[in-house]
Structure 1
Amino acid sequence: MLTYTTYSEAGGVGKTTLASNLADAHAQRGRDVLLLDLDPQNGSITYLLGIDAARDDGDQDNIARHLIDRPKGAFEDLIHETPFGFDLVPSHNMLEDLADLLGRAESMAEDLGEEFDRFDRLRQVLLNAGVPDKYDTVIVDPPATAGPHLYNAIGATRSLVVPLEPTGKGMQSIKGLQDVVDNFEATVGVDVGVLAVVPNGVGRTADQQEYLERIRELGYHAPVAIGERSSLFEGCWDKQTTAFAYVDEHRSRKRDHEMDTLDQLRELAAHVEEVA
């Protein structure tokens, strides 16, 4: 089973856009894909994909309720089919209070003499719902900041795909990536692997190759470097769709550089499947 979390230390580097397009690319390759949105921000993957979920309805069942063991229904009822060939568990505003909710749930469990690991809740929820029997690929998109959303994502998936800002600051963050991974392992108590590092928004072809070589020298997989595609990816957000569907449905003329980017996304998905 393929499981990974899209992670970046900083926002604005295409983490959520990458997660949605990798889900699409995996589905195109015949995989059964479940994408989980753990980001409580309004600009989350639930919005990007145009999923109609009442995220501000506190009475509605949602992923946060399942993480604190207070569900209002079956986990499978949270799952939305998307028009892109994969399924999604949407975000909910209750995730904004997840740290407090998990803390209270943990205290109650301790009072009752029960086990409750706040950073292992997502894995337990997925196992109890039989997700490994229904899907062969699970992708989790949490917020970038450290906290229970990110730690639960890592605890459940044990692997990362890391988009990279193609700047000196971005390269510096990659140099410190092993320290970040070590911190995750110490906090969550699991071994964590980096399946791929993905420079995103790179300029000239020569620059792309330079970034790839520097990342590989640091010992990480870097199968592709995605060029500067603001028109394509901003179009995805505007039309609430993946890059594949955007080019197919909203481009009257196929642009070679955008078709090359779609091929890169498919190549990246194939690489992640192989190394995982």
Structure 2
Amino acid sequence: MLTYTTYSEAGGVGKTTVGAALLETHASHGLDVLAIDMDQQNGSLTYLLDVDAPRDDSQADNIVRHMIDRPKGPLQDLILETDYGFDLLPSHNMLENLEELLTRAQRMADDLGEGDEFDPYDRLRQVLLEAGVPQEYDVIVIDPPATAGPHLYNAVSATRSLVIPVEPTGKGMQSVLGLEELVDGLEDRLEAEIGVLSAVPNGIGRTSDQERYLTEIRDRGYPAPVALRDRSSLFEGCWDQQCTPRHYVTEHRDRQRDHEMETLEKIDELAATIEEVGGL
């Protein structure tokens, strides 16, 4: 089974768009795929895929209710089919208060003498295991927000692997260094090794500085089997039409553009490499 979290400390590097492209590609390879959207922001994977989920309904069951032991039904009832061949456990506005709600749940567990069994940073993994979700899928990908906190910690605890979109700039390299410190801290807390399946340099231009940063990313030991050129028009089009990159190219372009087809081919290569590294 393959599990990973798509994450970057820097915003605007195409984390969610690249994640959606990988999800669709894994599914096109004949794998059963689940995406879990842990991003509380409106511009989340759920929004990008135009999935009709009751994220504004405070009474609706959602992943947070399960994480704080207040579910309203089976976890499987929350999982929706998408138009792209994979399933989605959607985002909900209750994620905005996840840290506060987990703290309250931890306090309740302590009061009941069950505090040792309730780890607020490991709840997502526990909920998925208890529901038998890992047995139903070949690939599980979690998309958290681009900020450190309980959303990210739960995602990493559940997957133990990362795919890191990164911008080949000085700012992007600083986010890589910050991520290394974050991973070290998470490994200490979780007492488990966290692997990087791939870095995904995104927005590569043709300047010598960007080529130097690309080399530095690989020199730091991050596997980066493909590097994506600047595809602002493609990625912005995906958000405008609320769809994956492949769907945008095939359904919303009036003609085939070679550079966009090249990008889709690179994403296919990346997905295949991640599957191989992940043991599929």
TM-score (norm 2): 0.95
Summarize the alignment of residues 1-276 of structure 1 with structure 2, pairs less than 5 Å apart.
1-114=1-114, 115-204=117-206, 210-276=212-278
- Judged with a 3 Å threshold, the aligned counterparts in structure 2 of structure 1 residues 4 and 243 are, in CA distance, closer, same or farther, namely same
Superposed CA RMSD in Å reads 1.5
Assess if the C-alpha contact under 8 Å between 1:2 and 1:138 holds in 2: yes
Letter in 1 for 2:267: L
**Counterparts of 2:212 and 2:265, CA distance in 1:** 20
Residues 199, 211 of structure 1: 8 Å contact kept: no
* Number of equivalences: 276
SS in 2 for 1:246: helix
Unaligned runs of 5+ in 1: none
- Report deviation, 1:180: 2.4
Shift of 1:28: 0.8
Q: 1:161-181: per-residue Cα shift (whole Å, max 9, x none)? A: 111112112123324543221
User: How far did 1:34 drift?
Assistant: 0.3
SS at match of 1:196: strand
3-state SS of the aligned residue for 2:163?
strand
Whole-angstrom distance in 2 between the partners of 1:99 and 1:168:
31
Q: Deviations over 1:228-255 (max 9, x none)?
A: 1111111110111000111111112110
Deviations 1:205-250 (A, max 9, x none): 9777544432221111011111111111111101110001111111
Query: Tell me, what secondary structure is at the counterpart of 1:262?
Result: helix
Moved over 3 A (4+): 205-212
- Residue type matched to 1:102 in 2? L
How far residue 131 of structure 1 moved from its aligned partner, in angstroms, is: 1.2
State the distance in 1 between where 2:159 and 2:39 align.
16
Confirm or deny: 8 A CA contact 1:212 1:224 kept in the other structure. Answer: no
CA distance in 2, matches of 1:255, 1:56: 38
Say if 1:27 and 1:86, in contact at 8 Å, map to a contact too.
yes
Tell me if the contact between 2:238 and 2:248 (Cα under 8 Å) persists in the aligned partners.
yes
Q: Distance in 1 between matches of 2:96 and 2:87?
A: 23
Identity %: 66
Give 1:111 deviation, angstroms: 1.2
